[in-house]
Amino acid sequence: MSETTENVDTVEITVNGRAVMARKGEMVIAATDRAGEHIPRFCYHPRMSPVGMCRQCLVEIDTGRGPMLQPSCMVPVAPGMVVDTESPTTKRAQEGILELLLANHPLDCPVCDKGGECPLQDQAFSHGPGESRYVEEKRHYEKPIDISALVKLDRERCILCDRCTRFADEVAGDALIHFVERGNATQVMTYPDEPFSSHFSGNTVQICPVGALTATPYRFKARPWDLEQADSTCTTCSVGCRTSVHSSRDRVLRFQGVDDDNVNWGWLCDRGRFNFESIHAESRLADPLIRTAEGLVATDWSSAMSITADLVRSALERSGPSSIAILGGARGTNEDAWAWAALADALGVTRRDAQLDDGLPVGVLGFERATIEDAARAATVVLLGPDLKEELPILHLRLRHAAVEGRTRILEFSPTGSGLTKHAWRSVRTPVGAAAATVAATLADAEVAAQLGSGPVVIVAGRHDLASSGDQVMAAVQAVLRAVPTATVLPALRRGNVVGALNAGCRPDGAGNDARSILVDAAEGRIEVLFLLGADPLADVPDADLARRALQGARRVVSLDGHGCASTMVAADVVLPAAVMAEKSGTTTNLEGRVSTVSHKVTVHGTARPDWMVAVELALALGHDLGVGSLEDITGRLASGGAALGAIWAPSIAVGEPVTVESVAPSGYDYRLVVSRVLYDGAVSTSNSASLAPLTAGPGVSMHPLDMERLGVVDGDVVTVTAGRGGVELPVCADDRLDRGVVWVPFGQGGGDPRELISGGAVTDVSIARVS
């Protein structure tokens, strides 16, 4: 799809009497689409392999033996081919197929969610016979059955186009739905008691050409003709998928994926697709709040702003700018981050970090940067990152596609394995605390070296393990770069606009200014005012105890927050309600550095304001003019700094010093802890979405079955996991993908919180005992 025409052999064919240049190897329907001749279709989807299931795209094709009806989605173009998409024979064939498809399809369009945007409805009008000769009773099935918590299936409406099942198998790699039975009884079905719980199930709803698959969060919420649409960008994670935001009566009702060649190919993960519910959640903050003896009480913006300005002014007077710190910014737009960085610059505040000690040192952005497309076309992708399927799901899809197609070989280093392990060329179980050494040893292998020498190498680097330090990952990246100096790096940082915020200046300036040192200083009483920009240290900082002490120790906490997160409600002295995505315009930057727009679609909740506005006003109150009065001013400033729309924006950020990490020998404790994120965790947008919140798997600890045997526990038993500082109780489950001596705990699942075990050391060792 993304090749440029010059590089591809072309084939000349004739479509409806007109010469058309087609790309060699493509199907007739793809060539006619680009030539502007529409052929009706149901099963064909440009991002999936053709199957010829629905027969609706029959057209007359003449390859020299006279015109014959052939499915245009299954016939590759050939020189001199003559295609007629409008001949009487073609028309009769297409009408016939539609009549057959409608023989069993119920005419319940008035009560069907798809009505108004339904390819079957539309094409029945445009290419159908108008009337049916079938008078027989139609097929009946039990009305919608849940095939997952998010997707319902109306089998009566299904036309068996194989789009959803093909998507599940080919694209998502979760073949949890399949055709069962045969002939007239054929239907799409899951295995009994095994729901379609794919991270990508929502895409099947979007590509279903009829109303057979519907999404629970959107069912019966609106009619398509009532929806207003605006193209935007998903900021749930840093992949930055293009979306279309659909709203009605000033409420966001759904997100649909928009096909972007460079990024998401039209797909969205379920978390990004369905977390629109959090925009209108009850936990949204409507008014500024001030902490008084009675707790947080509502106030107005002018009081809140003047109090905030006073706090800043007195902090500056008493202890200078180093007593002010800003955490967060990654949940906002580039404009938000720029304004806060500009405010900090004006005040001389250098202590700022868009990450919460849960990412990588900012130097990771200083390496030669790769794009997603680079990674998907590289000969080798070295995965040093998180489980992409859980953290950056669409990047997972793109890399999975590249690996399945055989273009790219994946060399994975992971202590636990990931969703890409089964597609990896090599998956190396990396001992936590010795990643760099393992990487160096593996790369010294002749076969691996030959593979790395065979073409471009892209390193995907992110923080898989919150229980060991990010320096471990940096050291591993540097180990790969020592072996392959031409390799480029795709930073797999997680938060929506974390790269944009770091680029725009919400980044620690030199050592001692990053989130961890800010938190340590706060805990020790050296921070007068701590700003939280959509940041929730109590929920996100891996070292829970440090976060608690920091929020207690900071003299004043000012939180700019959309949802009233834990840190805000527990610790903030001033709470400023912030506009969230879909309530503000601007630009966002994805992990590649690609800049795209976010759209203001619905009215802000209450009196909430975008972050940038708060920064500009606060600056004015403190006697600084940032020189911008509108969003456009800031976007203009960013553009002059290179942040043009659609372009890659990468200000030079110094690569950190070479990191050497001593491998850490196992301590007296028995097991090394790995804590990593899964798709559905306690994140604000997930936990405030009614449909997604129940999908968190719940707390648990996974360990090797032989280790469980040694402890004398079986699946479901509760164990106590103890580190130097404290212990938590978790149910145990077996996972033979783990090395012995390694235990894995998912992050943010409620219950026993693994963050109580993490104290910011290079690694976290724990002991485990049975609760008798």
Could you list the residues that contact other proteins (CB under 8 A)? 169, 174-182, 189-192, 194
User: Nearest distance from residue 173's CB to other proteins, in Å?
Assistant: 10
- In the 8-state DSSP scheme, what is residue 520? H
Pick the closer one to other proteins by CB: 194 or 632. 194
Compute the distance between CA of residue 377 and CA of residue 146 in angstroms, rounded to an integer: 38
The contacts of residue 554 (CB under 8 Å, 6+ apart) are 325, 522, 527, 528, 529, 530, 571
3-state helix, strand, coil split of the chain in percent (to 5) is: 30, 20, 45
Q: Which strands make up the sheet holding 488-491, listed edge to edge?
A: 426-429, 409-414, 380-384, 457-461, 488-491
User: Nearest distance from residue 165's CB to other proteins, in Å?
Assistant: 8
Pick the closer one to other proteins by CB: 92 or 178. 178
Q: Provide the residue count of the chain.
A: 772
Q: Of the candidates 540, 608, 528, 539, which has an alpha carbon nearest to the alpha carbon of residue 573?
A: 528
Pick the closer one to other proteins by CB: 36 or 192. 192
Pick the closer one to other proteins by CB: 406 or 712. 406
User: Nearest distance from residue 186's CB to other proteins, in Å?
Assistant: 9
Structure tokens at 32: 């006619």
Rg (C-alpha) for the chain, rounded Å, is 28
Pick the closer one to other proteins by CB: 193 or 317. 193
User: Nearest distance from residue 146's CB to other proteins, in Å?
Assistant: 15
Pick the closer one to other proteins by CB: 138 or 178. 178
Give the other-Cβ count within 10 Å of 689's Cβ.
23
User: Nearest distance from residue 152's CB to other proteins, in Å?
Assistant: 17
User: Nearest distance from residue 163's CB to other proteins, in Å?
Assistant: 16
Pick the closer one to other proteins by CB: 66 or 192. 192
Pick the closer one to other proteins by CB: 178 or 725. 178
Torsion of CA 684, 690, 694, 695, to 10 degrees: -70
User: Nearest distance from residue 147's CB to other proteins, in Å?
Assistant: 10
Pick the closer one to other proteins by CB: 125 or 191. 191
User: Nearest distance from residue 226's CB to other proteins, in Å?
Assistant: 36
The contacts of residue 61 (CB under 8 Å, 6+ apart) are 28, 67, 68, 69, 70, 72, 75, 81, 82, 83, 84
Hey, CA dihedral for 744, 749, 754, 755, is it positive or negative?
positive
The b-or-e profile of 590-626 (16+ CB within 10 A means b, else e) is: bbbbbbbbbbbbbebbebbbbbbbbbbbbbebbeeeb
Pick the closer one to other proteins by CB: 408 or 686. 408
Q: Which strands make up the sheet holding 82-84, listed edge to edge?
A: 18-23, 10-15, 82-84, 58-62, 67-71
User: Nearest distance from residue 455's CB to other proteins, in Å?
Assistant: 19
Pick the closer one to other proteins by CB: 139 or 624. 139
3-class DSSP assignment, residue 309: helix
User: Nearest distance from residue 179's CB to other proteins, in Å?
Assistant: 5
User: Nearest distance from residue 430's CB to other proteins, in Å?
Assistant: 25
- Could you tell me how far CA 104 lies from the centroid of its own chain? 38
Q: Are strands 529-533 and 457-461 parallel, antiparallel or unpaired?
A: unpaired
Angle at 144 between CA 218 and CA 255, to 5 degrees: 20
Pick the closer one to other proteins by CB: 193 or 282. 193
Compute the distance between CA of residue 312 and CA of residue 771 in angstroms, rounded to an integer: 50
User: Nearest distance from residue 519's CB to other proteins, in Å?
Assistant: 44
Structure tokens at 611: 């972050």
Alpha-carbon distances of 642 from 199, 334, 337, 650, rounded to whole Å: 35, 12, 15, 8
Q: Of the candidates 331, 199, 371, which has an alpha carbon nearest to the alpha carbon of residue 612?
A: 331
